[in-house]
Amino acid sequence: MNGFGFNKDLPNDLKSFKDVYIFQGNSVPDGNLNGGLGKWDVLKPGNGTGFKSNGKTNTLSDRFGLELSFAKKMKELFPNDKIALIKYAREGTSIDSLAKGDFGCWDADFQGLNGLNQYDNFLKTVKNALSETDIDKDGKKDLIVPSGILWMQGEGDASYDEAIANRYYDHLKILMNQMRAALLTDDLPVVIGKISDSGKDKSGRVWKMGELVQYAQEKFVLNDKSAAIVRSTKNYGYGDDPWHYNSAGYIDLGQKFAEEVFRLIINFENKP
């Protein structure tokens, strides 16, 4: 999920941050060579859809995702820590390569153009982000400690047939463990955002296999003791299209993700 909230709708307390930094990888289609480029910057509005980076300059957009309210809540929960967010997102993507459409997929076994897809862009984003040793430019080496993975996706896999939707659990489990491995942390906390449906379709459902993907998301969290799920998405309003939440939805989503990952982090740190 990239984020379709409008910056103009933000309250003042989500417009500026101190000691919160973000590295967002450039979002591109499968096969494109420029995915994952970015640079660390102080968090501010504009990391939603339309954000771009060439690795030297970040170009902010007029949209935001869950990162702003997530960061605000995390600073409240960890007031003495600096927070570093690494983001790679592309709207409309699936995990299953058969459901990628024009958006892209996250299947690590992708064999398409240049052998590059969204998972490769994620890996490049992480590699580029972690290669910087002084993200706040204070002249001191920073230690970045991976603390969690936030995953809001599934609509693409719910848009095709039953066979694709039924594979979602296995695909999700594999992908989350691959991401944990990329961050060199077994059992790293994972928070899943449960997909929801606006109903803004003549059939009454936008995602025709949505319930199967929702079931898979719940199954993943039930079977993974280091995972949690945000279910408040079912209550969110939508913007001017059938697919994306309104600004208030993204703000609440970030807060809920923070609350869930905080609980998991505390449990993770207290493990024997």
pLDDT tens digit sequence for 161-173: 999 999 999 999 9
What are 101-133's pLDDT values in tens digits? Answer: 999 999 999 988 899 999 999 999 999 999 999
What are 130-184's pLDDT values in tens digits? Answer: 999 999 999 999 999 999 999 999 999 999 999 999 999 999 999 999 999 999 9
> Within 10 Å of residue 215's Cβ, how many Cβ atoms?
14
Question: Which residue stretches of 155-241 are H helix?
Answer: 162-166, 168-182, 210-223
Sorting pLDDT into bands at 50, 70 and 90, what band is 40? very high
Sorting pLDDT into bands at 50, 70 and 90, what band is 270? confident
Q: What is the pLDDT at residue 189?
A: 98
Sorting pLDDT into bands at 50, 70 and 90, what band is 67? very high
Q: What is the CA radius of gyration of the chain?
A: 18
Is the backbone of residue 80 left (phi > 0), alpha (psi -120 to 50) or beta? alpha
Q: How far is CA 15 from CA 5, 6, 42, 45, in A?
A: 13, 12, 11, 6
What are 6-15's pLDDT values in tens digits? Answer: 999 999 999 9
- Calculate the dihedral angle through the C-alpha atoms of 41, 43, 47, 51, rounding to the nearest 10 degrees: -20
**Contact of 59 with 41, CB cutoff 8 Å:** no
The mean pLDDT value for 197-208 works out to: 94
CATH number at residue 10: 3.40.50.1110
Dist. CA 241–CA 21, nearest whole Å: 31
- Whose CA is closest to 152, among 69, 85, 245, 241? 245
- Whose CA is closest to 2, among 23, 17, 24? 24
Q: What is the pLDDT at residue 212?
A: 99
pLDDT at 269 over 90: no
- Token pair 């449990």 is found at 267
Q: What is the pLDDT at residue 18?
A: 96
The token pair that represents 136 in the structure block: 């706040």
Domain count, the chain: 1
Entry pTM: 0.96
Averaged pLDDT of the chain: 96
pLDDT at 43 over 90: yes
Sorting pLDDT into bands at 50, 70 and 90, what band is 272? low
Domain ranges, residue 33? 5-269
Dist. CA 91–CA 27, nearest whole Å: 9
> Within 10 Å of residue 175's Cβ, how many Cβ atoms?
20
